Amino acid sequence: MTSEELDIAFRAAVESINEHTEPFPADFLLRLYAYYKRATDDQDLPSSNNPLISAFKTNALFQTKDLSSDEAKQLYVEAVNHYFLYRK
């Protein structure tokens, strides 16, 4: 997959998540959060009014610290595709 194809697939996966109206499992959302932050090279620290949520987000980011942007995009796309394929 070329870099351009990966970007297109990533944007489509993000859009499909944003348009989905049913709730997602918390562990899935944390994975997507970490992949998205790595994929977009977002350096902002996790923030939440709830310290426990911030801790979970920080842990998720720590687990993806060695991923490149393209690797994170690919994993995001794969996670979304897998979720929508096997969720039922």
* Ramachandran angles phi, psi of 50, nearest 5°: -100, 115
In the chain, domain spans? 3-19+26-86
The CATH number of domain 3-19+26-86, selected from 1.20.80.10, 2.10.70.10, 1.10.510.10, 1.10.760.10: 1.20.80.10
The answer to whether 87 and 50 are in contact (CB under 8 A) is no
Question: What is the sign of the dihedral through the CA atoms of 86, 22, 67 and 9?
Answer: positive
What is d(CA 35, CA 68) in angstroms, rounded to the nearest whole number? 10
In order along its 88 residues, the chain shows pLDDT tens digits of 899 999 999 999 999 999 999 999 999 999 999 999 999 998 888 888 888 999 999 999 999 999 999 999 999 999 999 999 987 5
Q: Residue 46 has what pLDDT?
A: 85
What is this structure's pTM?
0.91
